[in-house]
Amino acid sequence: MSLNVKKDAIIIKDVTHTYKTETGLLPVIKNLTMNIPENGFTAVVGPSGCGKSTLTKLISGLLQPDKGEVYLSGEKITTPRPTVGMAFQNPVLLEWRSIIKNVMLPLEIVPNKLNLQQKEQRAKQLLSLVGLEGFEEKRPSELSGGMRQRASLCRALVHKPKVLILDEPFGALDAFTREDLWKVMHNLRKEEPFTGILITHDLRESIFLADEVIVLSGRPASKQFFVKVPKSKTPKLDSLYTSKSIDMLKTLRKQIEIAQSQQEQNK
């Protein structure tokens, strides 16, 4: 695989990371190399506890790898930077703020030239894009789980980050709400271009949303398998039930099983 520093928005180059625990060293990622092209969207799947969340921390600069390098838009990452947006499984909205003020939070931290009115306008624009028009002044506790996650996505995108990191953002939602949010994600990608990495346990989600799915091996994680997913301009949920998709899901399922048994052995 060739790494194109200019073209690729996210480059992870031969990264190894080890946690120091009380019982000794715990290697979580080993010689991982992957890249995501500008405006690409890659899903990362793998067995539970294989180091996927560590990967998001390395990309966002919250953690430094022991070995190897992470580049965002050609720049080596050593500290967190405002060109990143993040959303987690827990929407972590601030209860004491209204929805719109929650969405505006990154604009209070990231240096920008917007005045208050422009910030509000930007937040409103995103909220209406995800179907939360009219909920601007509500408190997070007044919203359903799916709506809170929508707001969390808006907050991740409000400062126009180049890179969007999603760590199982839909993991805690019920199946139908999750599918609704998949459609929201497609909509957001069209209107607000970003380079994305999605950590997920849901194989259907990975092939429905991403251009490429990477399967990580069991801990310590490295790249075990990847598959490109052809995308139509208007993806429909029905497309998940074609024989092509089902074959792809079966292949991915098989790879996960291999990774799981490998992780079992390494214990």
Partner 1 sequence: MRHILVPLYAIIIFLVLWELLVWVNDWPNYKMASPSDIWPAFWKFKFLFFQYGWDTLWRTVVGLFIAVLCGVFLGMIMGFSKVLREAIYPLLVGFNAIPKATVVPIIALMFVGQHDLNTVLIAFMISFFPIAVSVSIGLSTLEPEYRDILRSLGASKSLIFWKIALPKTLPEFFGALKVAVTLAFIGTNLMEIVSPHGRGLGALFDSGKTNSDYPLMFAVLIALALLGIGLYYVVVVLEKIFAGWAERSTD
Note the residues at the interface with partner 1 (CB under 8 A).
Answer: 57, 60-62, 79-82, 84, 86, 88, 90, 92, 94-96, 105-106, 108-110, 139, 141-142, 155, 159, 165
d(CA 124, CA 100): 7
Bridge partner residues of 113 (DSSP): none
CB 163, min distance to partner 1, A: 10
Smaller CB separation from partner 1, 90 or 262: 90
Smaller CB separation from partner 1, 22 or 95: 95
Smaller CB separation from partner 1, 89 or 206: 89
CB 204, min distance to partner 1, A: 25
Segments of the chain assigned E as strands = 8-21, 24-37, 41-45, 67-72, 75-76, 84-88, 163-167, 195-199, 212-216, 223-228
Please classify residue 180 by burial: count the beta carbons closer than 10 Å to its beta carbon, then call 0-12 exposed, 13-18 middle and 19+ buried: middle
Please classify residue 124 by burial: count the beta carbons closer than 10 Å to its beta carbon, then call 0-12 exposed, 13-18 middle and 19+ buried: middle
CB 85, min distance to partner 1, A: 8
Smaller CB separation from partner 1, 165 or 207: 165
Among 63, 61, 36, 70, smallest CA distance to 197 is for 36
Collect all residues with Cβ–Cβ distance below 8 Å to 238 and sequence separation of at least 6.
none
Bridge partner residues of 184 (DSSP): none
CB 209, min distance to partner 1, A: 21
Smaller CB separation from partner 1, 90 or 251: 90
Length of the chain: 267
SS3 198: strand
Under a CB-based contact definition with an 8 Å cutoff, are residues 85 and 156 in contact? yes
Smaller CB separation from partner 1, 82 or 235: 82
Smaller CB separation from partner 1, 94 or 175: 94
CB 109, min distance to partner 1, A: 5
CB 10, min distance to partner 1, A: 14
Among 63, 67, 59, smallest CA distance to 35 is for 59
Locus of tokens 């720049």: 75
CB 170, min distance to partner 1, A: 15
Bridge partner residues of 105 (DSSP): none
